Structure 1
Amino acid sequence: MHARVSVGSVPDDRLPVVLVHGLGMSSRYMIPLAKHLAPHLRVYAPDLPGFGRSDKPRQALTVRELADALAAWMQALGLERAAFVGNSLGCEVLVEFALVYPQRVDRLVLQGPTPDPEARGIARQIAGFFLIAPFEHWSLAWVALTDYARSGVRRYLRTLRSMVENDIGEKALRVSQPTLVVWGTRDYIVPYEFVTRLAGSLPRGRLAVIPGAAHGINYSHPEAFTAVLLPFLLAPRAELFGEDFASEAVAG
């Protein structure tokens, strides 16, 4: 697997953070967020198999297989434990990863988690992408189109099928790690009602809302996203098990 890795010096006692991209994308659109996090944490942003510059398996991988590939990549890198930030499909991969490889996950951030159980059809998911397009940063369209072309339409659709068939809501009930769910008020792929239910169902869940942001917050609003992330990522783990953790925060 190809990955981007920050090179700046950070305190040795801080956990690394791994950024996991969404459907059809690559680590390229994680760069704005990575740049904001890099002064504080060691950042890794891999391209999942089939996407970006990573190898292209003949068959598109399922959500579970992508989680297994992420674990194998960590093993090869000698990365024992980390915090994780996922966007869209990346959230599904990370929930699966947290259940199968819990010892590797210190805490999770699920930004724009999919799929909404009320809109799990492929056609409705694709329609959602068109609805949010006017509210994303214009340059994200070029990144997305070139990444989609690199992965191919067939792989995109087959991965999308695995994505919409995956029940993240049911699996979230069994995620024991502290988890921050992040949602943008213009994210028309992921309804507010769904993220509130998801955050509430997580044993150690909290919801943060970023006004004016759509689905690709890591690309379009990296400063606001970082302001929400750093208190969570840098907090001592004991603080994330306090009674006041499960609440809602709104970023300005």
Structure 2
Amino acid sequence: MSLSPESAKHRVRRTPRRPASSLAEKWTTIDGIDVFYRESPRPPADARVMAHIHGFGLSGRYLLPTAEQLADEFHTYVPDLPGFGRSGKRRDMLDIPDLAHATADFLDDRGVERASLVGNSMGCPVIIEFAHHYPDRIDRAVLVSPAGGLFNQPLRRAIGQLSRDTPREPTRMARVAVPDYVRFGVPSTARLFRALTQYPSLQRLLELRIPTLVVLGERDPLLPGPHRIDEIASQTDSHVLVVLLEGAAHAINFSHPGQLAHVIRLFMDDQPIVSDPDWPGDVRVYEVHRGKHHPPPKSD
């Protein structure tokens, strides 16, 4: 099968280099597009599958700190969706439904029938849309710092929110994010922003009927306050567990990987959400909302 010029261009990037992660770095080709991803090198044979879905304009690289902490317990995948990071581009891959279908195509390609999905920022509506179209293929959803909707409109407001968030993130985040944003490009940014803010995230969230964890950063300027989140979450009584991570901003997967991985483990095993006593004094996790039909915590 002959490759398109775009696909051939991305083949050049397969030259050996020093791995950026303890996860195995791999490539696959889906519908003629080269897709880069990371995977647990030696997952347990009976491990549950967990895929991490990145945010707006970024690759999966900034998700690695949390994904690496979970990779020995879960069969972990961290893809760069088509159009992002090191993966090839597709002209039709710049709205939320397209990215949800691309996630399903990636899991198909890897032979994965069901998985739990962990997303940050834009990755959260992608997961919600995936669950809408493929409800039998998702076990649990972890939505970290969900983005999109009215609170991030118009574009100048979102830019202002991002500018306030930047100094709240670790400085090393810029070394990861800036190259990704430059590669993603201005035209793609404008188009995807419109799609993201027009996506009916709340409506889709309330339709979910799977265990869902929402993790919010106390210092995240891209999200409304916890009281508004509680008000929204209380509109459903079946599935949503909302926790607030003290001291965190938007990119929790990068800035607080140990704490986030801890919360995800507890959620996956239906354990009470509690802080680890070994955490620094300025980091705590608080439960904001628990749907009455959410699976009850199991005591040790």
TM-score normalized with structure 2 length: 0.76
- Pairwise CA RMSD: 2.1
Residues 1:228 and 2:263 aligned together: yes
Amino acid at match of 1:207: V
Q: Is the 8 A contact 1:91 1:110 kept in 2?
A: yes
Secondary structure of residue in 2 paired with 1:35: helix
5+ residue gaps, structure 1, are 248-252
Residues 1:162 and 2:200 aligned together: no
Task: Identify, as 1 or 2, the structure richer in helix.
Answer: 1
1:195 aligns to what? 229
1:109 aligns to what? 142
Secondary structure of residue in 2 paired with 1:57: coil
Amino acid at match of 1:191: P
TM-score normalized with structure 1 length: 0.90
**Among 83, 86, 104, the residue aligned to 1:53:** 86
Give the Cα–Cα distance (whole angstroms) in 2 for the partners of residues 100 and 170 of structure 1: 14
Residues 1:4 and 2:4 aligned together: no
- CA 1:156–1:118: 2 relative to 1, 3 Å: closer
Number of positions where the alignment pairs a residue of Structure 1 with one of Structure 2: 242
Amino acid at match of 2:264: L
- Select between 187-196 and 212-221 the one with higher mean Cα deviation: 187-196
Sequence identity percentage: 37
Residues 1:207 and 2:242 aligned together: yes
**Among 71, 76, 89, the residue aligned to 1:38:** 71
Amino acid at match of 2:229: V
Amino acid at match of 1:179: T
Report the Cα offset of residue 33 of structure 1: 0.6
Amino acid at match of 2:134: Y
Structure 1 residue runs of 4+, over 3 Å off? 241-247
Q: Is the 8 A contact 1:50 1:56 kept in 2?
A: yes
Amino acid at match of 2:244: V
1:132 aligns to what? 165
5+ residue gaps, structure 2, are 1-34, 272-289
Residues 1:186 and 2:248 aligned together: no
Q: Is the 8 A contact 1:128 1:188 kept in 2?
A: yes
Q: Is the 8 A contact 2:234 2:291 kept in 1?
A: no
Residues 1:25 and 2:64 aligned together: no
- CA 1:175–1:52: 2 relative to 1, 3 Å: same
